[in-house]
Amino acid sequence: MTADLFASDEMSLSEQILPDVFFLKEFALGHTEQLLTAISCIEAQSAFRKMQTPGGFYMSAAITNCGEVGWHSDGHGYRYSQVDPLTQQKWPPMPACFLQLAQSAAQRAGFEHFHPDVCLINRYEVGAKMGLHQDKDEKDFSQPIVSVSLGLPIIFQFGGPKRNDPKQRIQLEHGDVIVWGGSARRFYHGVLTLKPGQHDMTGPYRYNLTFRRAG
């Protein structure tokens, strides 16, 4: 009885917002200091940078990566590479606390065998956003995506398989996690413009960690 009550209480902060899309409210809240310290180590090795899109524009969020590969964009297109083009060195390894969090969130959402080989790290400053896109540069779409929000809040929007499908909006706050896979794996999504603010742990920024299996 007690166990059941505990289980339902724990789950009450989790919500399935669409088939195969799970919102785990505050799932990472107990780990945020460790995660932010790890981000500092990663960025000391592979700095945040604004990447150019194939269309010739610059993304407004600054990006870095850790893991066996890293996601990269330039005038020639989007791809995963084993080497950071800025340093010509391997990307920093994925910290153990990153992997543990990603796997436990995936498991909570019912994805038992998530083996991420990359974590893409986005840093948003005031005015930065991420237009509607699909995450489709990976090889194995049976593996989900785990997305962790840190710092200032932002509005996430997600739609369907077509760009102009109706969209839901959800506010993502410090410590919130979204797990996304299966039938929704290639759905369009993005975030609206970051509003000005100050967060106790991240100052004027919002960070997003997206864990994927690229290869």
List interacting residues with ligand MD6 (CB under 6 A): 122, 130, 135, 145, 147, 156, 178, 180, 189, 191, 208, 210
Q: Which is nearer to ligand MD6, 174 or 189 (CB)?
A: 189
Question: Could you please report the per-residue DSSP string of 147-175?
Answer: EEEEES-EEEEE--SSTTS--EEEEE-TT
- Shortest Å distance, C-beta 19 to Fe ion: 18
Tell me how far CA of residue 204 lies from CA of 45, 111, 207, in angstroms.
22, 33, 10
Q: Strand, helix or coil at 107?
A: helix
- Residue span binding Fe ion (CB under 5 A) among the ranges 3-11, 56-64, 131-139, 165-173: 131-139
In the numeric block, which tokens belong to residue 165? 């499908």
- Smallest CA-to-CA distance from 97 within 175, 143, 150, 38 is with 38
Which of 27-35, 103-111, 116-124, 127-135 is the region at the interface with Fe ion (rule: CB under 5 A)?
A: 127-135
* Residue nearest ligand MD6, Cβ-based: 147
Nearer to ligand MD6, 105 or 178 (CB): 178
Residue 84 binds Fe ion (CB under 5 A): no
Residue 11 amino acid letter = M
Residue from 135, 151, 154, 181 in contact with Fe ion (CB under 5 A) = 135
* Cα separation, 199 vs 83, whole angstroms: 32
Side chain identity, residue 8: S
- Verify binding: residue 20, Fe ion, rule CB under 5 A: no
Contacting residues toward Fe ion, per CB under 5 A? 135
